[in-house]
Structure 1
Amino acid sequence: MAENEKRIKTHRIRCLSKMKMFLLAITCAFVSKTLSGSYMNSMLTQIERQFNIPTSLVGFINGSFEIGNLLLIIFVSYFGTKLHRPILIGVGCVVMGLGCFLQSLPHFLMERLSSYIWWFLVIYTYLRERNNTSYLELLCIYEYESTVSVSGNLSSNSFLCMENGTQIIRPTEDPSECVKEVKSLMWMYVLVGNIIRGIGETPIMPLGISYIEDFAKSENSPLYIGFVETGAIIGPLFGLSLASFCANVYVDTGSVNTDDLTITPTDTRWVGAWWFGFLICAGVNALTAIPFFFLPKWLPKEGLKSNADIIKNDKEEKQREEVKKKKDGITKVAGITTTYNGMQQDLYMENAILADCNRDCNCPTKTWDPVCGNNGVSYMSACLAGCETSVGAGINMVFQNCSCIQTSGNSSAVLGLCDKGHDCSMMLQYFLILSAVGSFIYSLSAIPGYMVLLRCIKPEEKSLGVGLHTFCTRVFAGIPAPIYFGALVDSTCLHWGTLKCGESGACRIYDSANFRYIYLGLPAALRGLSYIPAFLILNILKNRHLPGENASSGTMLTEAKTTKKESECKDMDQNSKVLNDNELKTKL
């Protein structure tokens, strides 16, 4: 008896420790997957600028994660319970790490291609007897559009307002004179890497949640799933912090002299080191996978009262396995959002970039190289501001004698857009506070929703149920949302960047008012519509009970009837026995 109790106690300790180990591992997996997901979402703007692609294409790249997840979610959810679930989750984490690594490859491939391209152009220009300046067009280092000389040599001020001068830095309009950039299709690596990351994420949620629900106590599973969902909240905090750090590091740091840069991280042409964070995400996902390869396929149910129950549960699981093998301020820009006189104008008015103050300056009208005048108005370039001289070099350059800047004193400008003011930063803080409160309220329904989903289906179909739920989420929300959101965001663009071939690049400035209506209004409308089917379902189910409740009540009723019948039978037997004894006595 003592040995039996000791064995039960030891088995319980071993079971609990393995369950807690799995709980810790799956929580870390949720942290790592949401870390890489939030980092990817935060780097979309950097990727858009790096490859000069529109927001609609960036939305498609973002939605490719859902496409990859969609390819296997039903298959993994259905067959996952028949296989080794922890190992499948570990493999998924490794695949996610591979996808993150693939997303960082364009940066390294572009650097390697630069050396090959240089030799190719040397031979090519020698045979064609052309100038080797086309090397700069194909060099895979990130080049932002700029009219400003960064060398500090002010002997040539061709980027300033020069009457009757010629501008040699206009974008090439003739396609025959333009060579397509090699890096233009490098975004395909980011797309494929995101698809692979989505494939790797497939087994984590359905198999992890079902594993907990199968082997944890009924009263403990909501708490365990709550821990897992907490990991899904912590992950984005690390991801956003990592994104903030990488966004402030120049993309080609180590390859270029950052002292020569004429832009800062607040500039719309700035591209941060987006590739560095993907390497960190790849390592984190790979490390997260290790514990899953040491966890068992099955665990005894928590809270079994006797060794016999444990043995019986193990036998039932083995038999079952054998049988079933079969986001109001608009940056105050002249010619786009305001006139050169400081008057507000239609945001989409055409041919308003040139004015009397700069019409004779022979300025490029498509190049985005903004400066901020001391009158608080931003201009597309120092030339369009009518500036004639400059002092200083790099980011500290100051432009003077600007004919379009109307002030009482010396008219001057500095590089970059003008600040939006204190009111804008305060509104951002209010927005973040309200977003945090709204997210907290919205998250309160997560665990009850999971428990209703899990308790309404058979135990062997829990993984499939979670998989179908995820499948529907991907199909109706995850995949289409980034695409149509990106297209709507593109519709609010006020000025597009220009590539060397004269093609449109990434957007440089948006209409903040319309952007706000789309970013906040569309999700509010969609979420409001979602309450309609929710109320309908609640109205249908309000008088119904869960299957478990019906089964338990039915079982109690059956047991009560059986007990009553047994007692009646016993009474009848006793009465018949008494009658037989009396008859026997009478005969004697």
Structure 2
Amino acid sequence: MSVESKKTREACCSKLKLFLASMALVFFAKAFGGAYMKSSITQIERRFDIPSSLIGVIDGSFEMGNLLVIAFVSYFGAKLHRPRLIAIGCVIMATGSYLIALPHFLQGPYKYETSVSHSISVNSSESALPCHSNHSLSEDETPDVETRTACEKAAGSSLWIYVFLGNMLRGIGETPIMPLGVSYLDDFSREENTPFYLACIHTVGILGPMFGFMLGSYLAKIYVDIGSVDLDGVTINYKDSRWVGAWWLGFIVTGTIIMLSSIPFWFLPKSLPKQGEEESQSKSTELATVAEQGNFLPEENQDHEEKEKPVTFQELAKDFVPSLRRLFKNTIFTLMILTYLVSVNGFIGMITFKPKFLEQVYGQSASKAIFLIGILNLPAVALGIITGGFVLKRFKLGVIGAARVAFAASVGSLCLLSIQVFISCDNAEVAGLTVSYQGDTQVSYNQQTLLSQCNMGCSCSMKHWDPVCAYNGMTYASPCLAGCQTSTGTGREMVFHNCTCVGEMKSPAMNMSAVLGQCPRKTDCDRIFKIYMALSVTGSFISACGGTPGYIVMLRSIQPDLKALALGMQTLIVRTLGGIPPPIYFGALIDRTCLKWGTKQCGGRGACRLYDANAFRMTFMGLITGLYLLSNMLWGNLYLKIVKRQKKLALRNQAKENGLEGESRANGHASINIDTNKDDTDKESTI
């Protein structure tokens, strides 16, 4: 072997490794930004006082951005400079992140709803009177449309549109990374190395969500207007459902990291020689290189392998529809898209609202819920992904083996998910919302249940959510509704005294005082929560073990020249129908379980403050389990079709080896030629 050839091969390998490292970095960066967006959902919902259904629309705008360009980027991008397109995408993603943070600098300080605002400005220990007979009910009146419009404009409550548009830009920028990056890597690496490389990229990528959720957890404890307001005057803490963390700061950090990750792609070549080949073919076209890639399908007729002339944009566009038709005649590909579509619906709905689920059902703070997902669930997913890739490489599993691993992982995760449906804590005890003021009976909430004999003379607002925790362990919606007569202290240290409703309990407490904030859940809730998290983490690991094998089944089930288009269409369909609707319909169904809505600064319904924990759990977990059950049924059907297809393919190969192919063709039997226009001759066996 000549020295020159050896140097060329080493240069090729080093560039492939550079691309591999760059892909790992950009997967980390995009996952870091995406996870931080998910972890900030609750903070954004509270900051702009919007319901879960609208926050679902904002979250789905990422996929809307994908929808705009994914098909064209995947198809035309495969013929263009793929690394450079990825670099451009990263710059667009970073711009979107900066745009999301912009509303913080355009709107005034955050004003949370409170019924004791008149007393927090008093810099002494003088008494306030939350419950008094001359309290005005005018605050319950709805302002007229003109007044509300002027108020909302001043408050900047419509600035969530910047978050929507910024997230859409993130979706547009992320578009080239998956289809172009993965197809580039698969084209120029050895076939047996592809699963391991993909596993490495996804494993490094999974560190992104870990850091994203940890950053989200950290910033959720920092007040939104840090540095611009006096924190001593803030009467809520990070455990309160009205608290808003410094969500905007994280988008500046993630945008900067994504921008930096784009740099290596500007310097990578359009194409590389195939890994392991002795001679460099630097002048060969990408389509010729793609055609050399091994695949478990029979080889296509390669008449077009001759030196190709430069392809014009018009010619590419003309070939787009026929290529799309060829792709969707592939029954395995179509069924796999449907399977992924259902499972992604469940996954996206779960990951979007899981922090809120842990907060409302198990009494965890938003910060702790985000932290636990980042520090427990995501490492389990990372370990599962690398385990799946290792199993494929170690046992040299083919398509059937990969499908078997993916299906088994899907069934295992469904079993653990089904158990989680029945694990829960009791509802938080809030007088007039979940239990009666006597604490002995469950109540079906309506506005009148907030009133009792103990607070009837107080003329309290029933719209305010300003919870206080009495020493008897009961939470009251506000100091006024607790019947508190006086208060001492300022800010978070405020204590309310002579609360008449505290004495209504069946076992009244000697201390008639209350402090700001909700009461903690019962002690056995911590033990139940640990059981839930153990099952959740184990389920995450098992489910992730099927990720890489499932992806390999996808790559090996399509014709080589359609690889980039197939990955792009998969991303388009799954992200469109599996990414946009779930946050919206999950959010709308979760909204139906709300017991206490917050009130906007300008009047009207704001974000939900308290949910019916049992209804929330059954709605949220029941919906996820149902979707995963349907996904498993589709996986079972898919596995049977793959096995059937492989058996037919084996028989054809055997016939060819025995010299029977010519005879079978003469008799009009199945042909080994998988001409793109003749795929429908054997629809059952076409993949």
TM-score, scaled to structure 1:
0.85
1:180 aligns with 2:151: yes
Secondary structure at the counterpart of residue 609 of structure 2: strand
Unaligned runs of at least 5 residues, structure 1: 111-139, 562-588
| Matching of residues 359-378 of structure 1 within 5 Å | 359-378=456-475
- Residue among 543, 550, 554 paired with 1:449: 550
Q: Which residue of 1 aligns with 2:244?
A: 271
Instruction: Please state how far the C-alpha of 1:331 moved relative to its aligned partner.
Output: 1.4
1:96 aligns with 2:112: no
Distance 1:547 1:33 in 2: 41
1:144 aligns with 2:117: no
Instruction: Please state how far the C-alpha of 1:322 moved relative to its aligned partner.
Output: 3.3
Secondary structure at the counterpart of residue 372 of structure 1: strand
Q: Which residue of 2 aligns with 1:516?
A: 617
CA 1:92–1:525 in structure 2 vs 1: closer, same or farther (change >3 Å)? same
Deviations, residues 42-94 of structure 1 (Å, cap 9, x unaligned): 11111111111111000111111111111111111111111000011111111
- Aligned-pair identity in percent equals 45
Q: Which residue of 1 aligns with 2:396?
A: none
Distance 1:313 1:435 in 2: 47
Secondary structure at the counterpart of residue 242 of structure 2: coil
**Which has the larger Rg?**
1
Distance 1:506 1:314 in 2: 52
Instruction: Please state how far the C-alpha of 1:429 moved relative to its aligned partner.
Output: 2.7
Instruction: Please state how far the C-alpha of 1:311 moved relative to its aligned partner.
Output: 7.7
1:11 aligns with 2:108: no
CA 1:49–1:560 in structure 2 vs 1: closer, same or farther (change >3 Å)? closer
Greater shift after overlay, 64-73 or 537-546? 537-546
| Matching of residues 95-114 of structure 1 within 5 Å | 95-110=92-107
Distance 1:458 1:279 in 2: 42
Aligned residues of 1:78 and 1:463 also touching (Cα < 8 A): yes
Aligned residues of 1:158 and 1:167 also touching (Cα < 8 A): no
Distance 2:41 2:248 in 1: 12
Distance 1:323 1:310 in 2: 15
Q: Which residue of 1 aligns with 2:130?
A: 160
CA 1:47–1:409 in structure 2 vs 1: closer, same or farther (change >3 Å)? same
Instruction: Please state how far the C-alpha of 1:280 moved relative to its aligned partner.
Output: 0.6
Runs of at least 4 residues off by over 4 Å: 153-159, 308-321, 546-561
Distance 2:442 2:280 in 1: 82
CA 1:408–1:492 in structure 2 vs 1: closer, same or farther (change >3 Å)? closer
Q: Which residue of 2 aligns with 1:383?
A: 480
Give the root-mean-square deviation of aligned CA atoms: 2.5
| Matching of residues 289-368 of structure 1 within 5 Å | 289-304=262-277, 306-307=278-279, 316=288, 322-325=309-312, 326=315, 327=357, 328-368=425-465
Secondary structure at the counterpart of residue 417 of structure 1: coil
Letter in 2 for 1:322: K
Instruction: Please state how far the C-alpha of 1:556 moved relative to its aligned partner.
Output: 5.6
Letter in 2 for 1:143: K
Aligned residues of 2:502 and 2:509 also touching (Cα < 8 A): no
Equivalent residue pairs, number: 527
CA 1:150–1:216 in structure 2 vs 1: closer, same or farther (change >3 Å)? same
Q: Which residue of 2 aligns with 1:281?
A: 254
Letter in 2 for 1:79: F
Distance 1:320 1:143 in 2: 68
Letter in 2 for 1:147: S
TM-score, scaled to structure 2:
0.73
Distance 1:498 1:29 in 2: 41
CA 1:154–1:356 in structure 2 vs 1: closer, same or farther (change >3 Å)? farther
Q: Which residue of 1 aligns with 2:171?
A: 198
- Residue among 221, 229, 233 paired with 2:202: 229
Letter in 1 for 2:479: A
Distance 2:286 2:605 in 1: 65
Secondary structure at the counterpart of residue 114 of structure 2: coil
Letter in 2 for 1:307: E
Q: Which residue of 2 aligns with 1:567?
A: none
- Residue among 620, 643, 646 paired with 1:542: 643
Aligned residues of 2:103 and 2:162 also touching (Cα < 8 A): yes
Q: Which residue of 1 aligns with 2:35?
A: 38
Instruction: Please state how far the C-alpha of 1:375 moved relative to its aligned partner.
Output: 0.4
Unaligned runs of at least 5 residues, structure 2: 290-304, 316-356, 358-424, 663-687
Secondary structure at the counterpart of residue 293 of structure 1: helix
Q: Which residue of 2 aligns with 1:460?
A: 561
Letter in 2 for 1:517: M
Instruction: Please state how far the C-alpha of 1:484 moved relative to its aligned partner.
Output: 0.3
Q: Which residue of 2 aligns with 1:119?
A: none
Distance 1:41 1:86 in 2: 27
Distance 1:315 1:530 in 2: 34
1:57 aligns with 2:54: yes
Aligned residues of 1:171 and 1:498 also touching (Cα < 8 A): no
Aligned residues of 1:147 and 1:159 also touching (Cα < 8 A): no
Instruction: Please state how far the C-alpha of 1:410 moved relative to its aligned partner.
Output: 2.6
Q: Which residue of 2 aligns with 1:27?
A: 24
Q: Which residue of 1 aligns with 2:139?
A: 170
- Residue among 471, 485, 495 paired with 1:398: 495
Greater shift after overlay, 342-351 or 479-488? 342-351
- Residue among 244, 255, 265 paired with 2:228: 255
CA 1:38–1:219 in structure 2 vs 1: closer, same or farther (change >3 Å)? same
Aligned residues of 1:214 and 1:301 also touching (Cα < 8 A): yes
